[in-house]
């Protein structure tokens, strides 16, 4: 209303109004231009922040812990890479394998992973793809050779393997490694008067033919014969033995049938004193155990049962208990103790690769059992174990000190002659 009155009452009113209008318009345009500029800055910042980082990546190496692997082994694998990333958290890794599996989902997209070997012999591949942001993908593959049921040269600290590979009882354990298969070792000393042992569960199927090789030594010391070994052999006819054994599973069917529960090889690395003769000291014992679940009866093979005959466990060697010079050992000098069961259950032992005993006793017992008991199940190994002498008393000055350099278990017949 006011604008209308001014326009009518003043002849210059249209000019005045037009001037004010242009001034007002310029001020508004400046204000709007500032707002538009601010919005543009904000949009640019958002676009910059949303822009993907990325760049080229090079996988320098794909490494693995070891060169040969056994069934079910958990093998660390990891990459070394070059990229524009500040650290590995900016990288994305995809892992794949031709056989086996990866154990840890938490590392599925990281630079390292844990490969679990398949339960079969062969050459397999592990592959990793690496990518930084929206850059290109780099690929690297490494070969994984699975060639044995189980092997251990004790590359890794024993204490870290107790839960996944080994079990132990009454040992004080130390570990030394040089990165060399022939000198790496696990050293065990008894921690008390109980009989100490180390053992490994054979949870994956192991059937005949199979072979077991153990390479061990006893340290040089002040005991008889220059060894750190509990030596009862010069005062008693039977010394304290070290034992290598395979314990078998109870059959899952026909559970009342008798079965072979253990094969045990006892030996003592002692030397004879001048006062003793091989006839008076026994440094080995080789035998197997027949166990009957319904009665709880345990019967070990022996010479005396040979005269009674089957179904008793007949002797693997005559005499079952005796003396043999090949079991004498020098301090810190390794020997290989190996035994094998062929496809027909013929049992053979080797010392440092030289055949010692070949026996049909187990084969004959199994053949007899199969004829006596319908559906009789063949022996299935369940546990590998080494035991050695504990302390006589907690104040013993000489403690048995054993070094284990290798344990190898194979289910391939071609390797049996190489023991």
132-162 tens-digit pLDDT: 887 789 999 999 999 999 988 887 654 445 4
pLDDT mean over 120-130: 95
Inform me whether the pLDDT recorded for 53 exceeds 70. no
**Topology classification of domain 55-148:** Immunoglobulin-like (2.60.40)
Burial class of residue 407, CB neighbours in 10 A (0-12, 13-18, 19+): buried
DSSP E strand stretches across 36-149: 54-55, 57-64, 68-70, 74-83, 91-97, 101-102, 112-116, 122-133, 137-148
6-26 tens-digit pLDDT: 334 444 444 444 444 444 445
pLDDT mean over 312-321: 96
CA dihedral (279, 282, 286, 290) positive or negative? positive
- Alpha-carbon distance of 173 to 175, in angstroms, equals 7
* Predicted pLDDT at 321: 94
* Predicted pLDDT at 276: 74
Global pTM? 0.80
The DSSP code sequence of 315-335 is -SSSSSEE--GGG---TT--E
Say how far residue 389 (Cα) sits from the centre of its chain: 26
pLDDT mean over 174-179: 75
**Topology classification of domain 150-418:** Jelly Rolls (2.60.120)
* Predicted pLDDT at 98: 97
* Predicted pLDDT at 68: 85
DSSP E strand stretches across 274-353: 284-292, 297-300, 321-322, 335-341, 347-351
The domain segmentation of the chain, as residue ranges, is 55-148, 150-418
275-292 tens-digit pLDDT: 677 778 899 999 999 999
* Predicted pLDDT at 274: 65
Q: Which residues pair with 113 in a beta bridge?
A: 77
Between 53 and 190, the more confident residue is: 190
Between 108 and 411, the more confident residue is: 411
338-383 tens-digit pLDDT: 999 999 999 999 999 999 999 999 999 999 999 999 999 989 999 9
Inform me whether the pLDDT recorded for 240 exceeds 50. yes
* Predicted pLDDT at 57: 84
């Amino acid at each position: 209303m006011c604008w209308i009155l001014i326009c009518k009452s003043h002849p210059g009113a249209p000019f005045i109004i037009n001037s004010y209008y242009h001034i007002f318009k310029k001020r508004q345009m400046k204000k709007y231009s500032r707002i538009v500029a601010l919005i543009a800055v904000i949009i640019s910042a958002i676009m910059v922040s949303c822009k993907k980082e990325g760049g080229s990546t090079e996988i320098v190496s794909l490494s693995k812990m070891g060169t040969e692997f056994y069934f079910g082994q958990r093998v660390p694998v990891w990459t070394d890479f070059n990229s524009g990333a500040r650290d590995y958290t900016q990288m994305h890794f995809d892992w794949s394998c031709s056989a086996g599996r990866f154990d840890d989902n938490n590392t599925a997209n990281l630079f390292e992973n844990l490969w679990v070997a398949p339960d079969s012999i062969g050459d397999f591949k592990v592959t990793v793809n690496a990518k930084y942001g929206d850059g290109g993908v780099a690929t690297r593959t490494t070969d994984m050779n699975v060639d044995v049921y189980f092997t251990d040269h004790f590359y890794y600290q024993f204490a870290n393997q107790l839960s996944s590979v080994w079990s132990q009882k009454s040992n004080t354990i130390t570990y030394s490694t040089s990165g060399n298969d022939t000198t790496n070792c696990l050293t065990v000393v008894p921690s008390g008067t109980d009989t100490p042992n180390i053992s490994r569960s054979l949870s994956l199927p192991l059937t005949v033919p199979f072979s077991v090789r153990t390479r061990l030594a006893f340290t040089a010391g002040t005991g008889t014969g220059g060894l750190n070994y509990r030596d009862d052999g010069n005062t008693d006819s039977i010394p304290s033995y070290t034992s290598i054994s395979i314990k078998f599973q109870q059959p899952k069917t026909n559970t009342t049938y008798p079965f072979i529960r253990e094969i045990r090889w006892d030996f003592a690395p002692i030397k004879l004193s001048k006062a003793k003769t091989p006839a008076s000291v026994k440094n080995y014992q080789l035998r197997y155990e027949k166990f009957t679940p319904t009665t709880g009866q345990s019967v070990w093979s022996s010479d005396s049962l040979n005269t009674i005959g089957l179904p008793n466990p007949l002797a693997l060697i005559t005499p079952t208990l005796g003396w043999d010079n090949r079991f004498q050992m020098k301090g810190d000098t390794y020997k290989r103790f190996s035994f094998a069961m062929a496809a027909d259950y013929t049992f053979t032992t080797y010392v440092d690769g030289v055949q010692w005993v070949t026996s049909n006793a187990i084969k004959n017992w199994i053949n007899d059992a199969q004829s006596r008991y319908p559906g009789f199940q063949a022996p299935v190994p369940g546990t590998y174990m080494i035991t050695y002498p504990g302390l006589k008393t907690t104040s013993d000055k000489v403690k048995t000190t054993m070094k284990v350099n290798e344990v190898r278990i194979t289910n391939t017949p071609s390797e049996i002659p190489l023991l």
